[in-house]
Amino acid sequence: MNLGLAGKVVIVTGGSSGIGAAIAGGLAREGAVPAIVSREPPRPELVAQLGADWLFHPCELAEDDAVVAAVDAVAARFGRIDGLVNNAGRNDNLGFEATPAQFRASLDINLVHYFGMARAALPHLKAAQGAIVNIGSKTSITGQGHTSAYAAAKGAVLALTREWAVALRGDGIRVNAIVPAEVETPAYAEWLKSFDDPAARREEIERRVPFGHRFTTPEEIADTALFLLSGRASHTTGQWLFVDGGYTHLDRAIE
């Protein structure tokens, strides 16, 4: 499907790996210009997908000035910003044993830069009547246990999605969120390795996913993000799209 994204400049935070990399690669295949804002540069296999027109800007997203500088660099290079995908973050498993200072630090890496990126990109998004896609997490809906800070951050991401959709409706900017559950990413693979029997743990989790009893692929998240960024979603805003094989809302005991 031609989504009409050719030539559109889209910032993807955390776009060097996992879900972000799948989104960046998908944008390139649609003829868009991915601007990857991340700590680490993209790996060679992703670079091979990006073609000639893309940008990597190294950034520590927990630093406010660095966020503004990243947006300025993208705008200076391409002269426009048509979309923003707020994706970067990690489940740091901070529960009640964490200090308030650690809790606040987790919000910086999982929430605050979402606001900072949107605020810095806003003049450009207004000019383009662009779109924002926020990547959330099922932890904000289902809970997980031992992850208070991450769950709080992701809950706020969903609230901000609705707030920004209302606040920016007059500017023609659409704002939506994608809520993944169990996604086949390098970070998830590393987490599975922390168990005594990773294969058994994986099988146990997959059984809980009603549709197909399998993990979601990063590309399936990316396909939904591309749709939301495109004009094909021209009347879709303020929505939370659950791309999770039914994990969140269907009975996970279904066999």
121-175 pLDDT per residue, tens: 999 999 999 999 999 999 999 999 999 999 999 999 999 999 999 999 999 999 9
CA-angle at 153, arms to 111 and 178, nearest 5°: 85
- Residue 242 neighbours by CB under 8 Å, 6+ apart: 138, 179, 181, 248, 249
Q: Is 88 helix (H, G, I), strand (E, B) or coil?
A: coil
pLDDT tens digits for range 72-85: 999 999 999 999 99
Give CA–CA dist 102/100, Å, rounded. 5
Domain 9-181+219-242 has CATH 3.40.50.720: yes
- Locate 99 and state its tokens: 């200090």
133-154 burial, b for 16+ CB within 10 Å, e for fewer? Answer: bbbbbbbbbeeeeebbbbbbbb
Our answer to whether residue 150 is catalytic in this structure is yes
- Candidates 114, 150, 188, 247; catalytic one: 150
Give CA–CA dist 4/81, Å, rounded. 15
**What band does 3 get if pLDDT is binned at 50, 70 and 90?**
very high
CB-CB contact of 133 with 85 (8 Å): yes
Model confidence, pTM: 0.97
Give CA–CA dist 213/205, Å, rounded. 8
pLDDT given for residue 203 in this prediction: 95
Q: Where in the chain is the domain with CATH 3.40.50.720?
A: 9-181+219-242
**What band does 64 get if pLDDT is binned at 50, 70 and 90?**
very high
